[in-house]
Amino acid sequence: MPTQKEIDRRYTNIRAAMTANNIDGLIVGGNQYAGFEGAIRYVSGFEIVHRYVYVLIPLSGEPTLVFPREARWIGDKKAPWVRDQVWAEIPGKWLREKMEEKKWKRVAVYGLDFIMAVRDYRELQHGSFDLVPFDFQFDMARAVKSEEELTGVRDAMDIILDGFDALLSAYRPGKTEAEIMAPAVERFFARGAGPRMMNIVLSGTHGEAEAHFKVPSLRRVAADDLLLYSLEVTGEAGYWVEFSRALIQGKPSARTLAMSDVYPEAMEAARLKMREGALACDVHKAAADVFQRAGFALGHLTGHSIGLTMIEHPAIGANTQIELKENMVVSFHPQVVDQDGQVCLYTQDTYRIGRKQGECLASLPWKFYSGAEASKTA
C-alpha cells in the first residue's frame, strides 16, 4: 500500500490537471484486460481480479469506488484506501445520477476509448453534462514517478530478470516454445506478478524471426530457430516492466546479423536522448536514424511511458512533441523489419529518464543468448 504522502501526491497532481481543464469530476476506468487494470490501483489501491471497476474523483472531497453488482464478491474490498464503495446494477446509471445530482457540467473520463463498458457509456451519454476524454491528461499527471514508485519498478525489473534466467535454463532445442517459457512464468507468479503478465514471442526458422507476435506454442524449437520472447510483467506493487533478448543456439541468418550489428548503436543513441527537457520524438529519431542508415525500417511503435498501466502516455514516436521529465519511466522496444516486412529483430528495455541521460534498468547487454548464460543474468 502506498504511503499517505504518496496518495496525496497522486490526487494533487490529478486534481491540478482537472482544474487546468475546467473539470468538475473524473471517472477513472480499469478492467481485467492485461495492462488496463492499473489506473484503478493508482487512484484507489484496489486490485482488479475480474471484470471492471470505476473510481469517481470529485474536484474536492472523497472519491468513490463503483463496482458492477455482479462483482461484489470478486477482489478484496478491504484492501483499497478508498472506503466509499457502491455496487451498482449498471454502474453508468449510478454515475450519471450521482453527477446530475451534483449538477456537474464537465466530466472527464480516463478509459473512454478502450476501457469503459458500452452499457455504462449508453447511460452517461444521456447525462446533462459534457463528457471529456482524459486519457492523455491523466497519464501525464502520473508520468513522473516518485522514489516510492521507482522502488516498485526496480523490484519488478529484478523479477523479470529472474524469470529470464529461468527461461535461459530451460532453453534447449527439442523443447516447445511454451516449455521454454513456462519456468519464467512460474518464477514471475511465485514472486508476486499474479495474473499481471503478458509473455509473447517472435520466432522463426533458419536464424530468422517472423515479423508478428504470437503466443508461445507447442511448436518444437530447432537449434537454428530464432526466439525473441517479449517478457512483460509487474511485481507485487503492480508496476509494469518490459524486457527482451534474442535466443538462438545455431547460426543467425545474414539478414538477422545485419540487423543485429546496428542494435547497440541505436539503443545507445536513444538512451542518451532520454533526458530532462528532450522531446519524446527525439528519442525515437535517434534510434530510427541509425536503422535507416543501415537500410532498415521500424515496424513497431518504438516505445511508451509505463507504470501501473502497461501503456501510458506519452508515446515514444516520430510525432510525439512531449517534453520528457526526470523520473519518467519508459519502455523502449524498436522492432526492425526487412524491406519486405516479413523478417524482424526485436529488443525491449525499460528506462528511467535521467537529468542528463537515460538509465537502463536491466544490466544485461544486447546479444544473442544461447542458454549457457543461465544463473549469470539475475
Per-residue pLDDT tens for 53-63?
999 999 999 99
Of 68-77, 176-185, 295-304, 320-329, the least confident:
295-304
pLDDT band at 339 (very low <50, low <70, confident <90, very high): confident
From residue 291, alpha-carbon distances to 232, 300, 303, 345 in Å are 25, 13, 15, 12
Note the pLDDT tens digit of each residue in 225-282: 999 999 999 999 999 999 999 999 999 999 999 999 999 999 999 999 999 999 999 9
Q: Identify the pLDDT of residue 352.
A: 98
Of 19-28, 255-264, 347-356, the least confident:
255-264
Domain covering 4-142, topology? Creatine Amidinohydrolase; Chain A, domain 1 (3.40.350)
Q: Identify the pLDDT of residue 378.
A: 45
- % of residues, the chain, pLDDT over 70: 98
372's CB contacts (< 8 A; 6+ apart) are none
- Grid cell digits, residue 358: 537515460
Residue 192 has pLDDT above 50, yes or no: yes
pLDDT band at 123 (very low <50, low <70, confident <90, very high): very high
Burial string for 364-378 (b: 16+ CB within 10 Å, else e) reads bebebbebebbeebb
Q: Identify the pLDDT of residue 337.
A: 85
Q: Answer yes or no: pTM beyond 0.85.
A: yes
Q: What would you report as the CA-atom Rg of the chain, rounded to the nearest whole angstrom?
A: 22
Q: Identify the pLDDT of residue 269.
A: 97
Q: What is the residue-averaged pLDDT of the chain? A: 95
Residue 185 has pLDDT above 70, yes or no: yes
Partners of residue 30 on adjacent β-strands? 53
- % of residues, the chain, pLDDT over 90: 90
Greater confidence (157 vs 71) lies with 157
- Interatomic CA distance for residues 215 and 329, integer angstroms: 26
- Grid cell digits, residue 148: 516510492
pLDDT band at 343 (very low <50, low <70, confident <90, very high): confident
Note the pLDDT tens digit of each residue in 358-367: 999 998 999 9
- Interatomic CA distance for residues 125 and 261, integer angstroms: 53
25's CB contacts (< 8 A; 6+ apart) are 56, 57, 58, 59, 99, 102, 104, 107, 108
- Sole residue written with cell 456537474: 104
pLDDT band at 340 (very low <50, low <70, confident <90, very high): confident
Q: Identify the pLDDT of residue 300.
A: 61
The beta strands (E) that lie in 97-249 are given as: 106-110, 130-133, 200-204, 209-210, 226-234, 240-243, 246-247
Taking residues 373-377, what's their average pLDDT?
A: 67
Residue 376 has pLDDT above 70, yes or no: no
Residue 299 has pLDDT above 70, yes or no: no
Closest-CA residue to 278 (of 318, 313, 321, 319): 321
- Interatomic CA distance for residues 36 and 23, integer angstroms: 23
Taking residues 113-133, what's their average pLDDT?
A: 96
Q: Identify the pLDDT of residue 374.
A: 77
Pick the CATH number of 147-369 from 3.40.50.720, 3.50.50.60, 3.30.465.10, 3.90.230.10: 3.90.230.10
Greater confidence (339 vs 369) lies with 369
List the domain boundaries for the chain: 4-142, 147-369
Q: Identify the pLDDT of residue 231.
A: 97
Of 26-35, 159-168, 319-328, 338-347, the least confident:
338-347
